[in-house]
Amino acid sequence: MLFAMRAVSWEAMRCAIGGGREGGREGGECRAILRARVGRDNPAAMDGLHLTADLEGCDPRAAPMTDVQALRSLCVQAVRDAGLSPVAELFHRFDAPAGAADGSAGGITGVVLLAESHLAVHTWPERAAVTLDAYVCNVGADNSARAERLLDALLAAFAPGGRVVRHRLHRGSTPA
């Protein structure tokens, strides 16, 4: 395991060397010790959580699938409700795909820039699909639970009736 270029406690090193089990400590407790010693008090260390979800079977007639203002409102409100801080946003609606039935609308790509990082949402009404991407930095504060709440709120709002594939990726230089 590579440590940040600063002294860490022997306790933190024993956790890392012991594979997350030192002196009866479980992995979660060791990760907390390492974060405290390596990540939180070291501004050079990165620590983040990247969540993604691919949703199938979403209602293509639901307003957030094709209405920019509806999607923007949903996303910004979900960000705030999760306890995160929106600083800017950009949403773009695409033309209906070639060969689409009359009256069909194109999907939307939307991004909410967060003080903690970002949220990206992509809708495909012609496929009844949505992809979600939320990334939060955890330097200075652990925003992981907030990111989980954000993704859960959007999953509930889109109410997929089909397959949902979620991924959780720890990013940075401290253990997950």
* Known catalytic residue at 75: no
* Known catalytic residue at 30: no
- CA distance linking residue 146 with residue 78, whole number of Å: 10
Active-site residue, selected from the candidate residues 15, 30, 75, 137: 137
Q: What is the DSSP letter of 37?
A: I
- CA distance linking residue 110 with residue 108, whole number of Å: 6
What DSSP string describes 50-78?
EEEEEEES--TTSHHHH-HHHHHHHHHHH
- CA distance linking residue 113 with residue 137, whole number of Å: 12
* Known catalytic residue at 173: no
Which residues of the chain form beta strands (DSSP E)? Answer: 47-56, 86-93, 108-114, 117-124, 129-137, 164-172
Q: What is the chain's length?
A: 176
Active-site residue, selected from the candidate residues 15, 58, 117, 118: 117
Active-site residue, selected from the candidate residues 50, 122, 144, 173: 122
- CA distance linking residue 158 with residue 154, whole number of Å: 6
List residues with catalytic annotation: 117, 122, 137
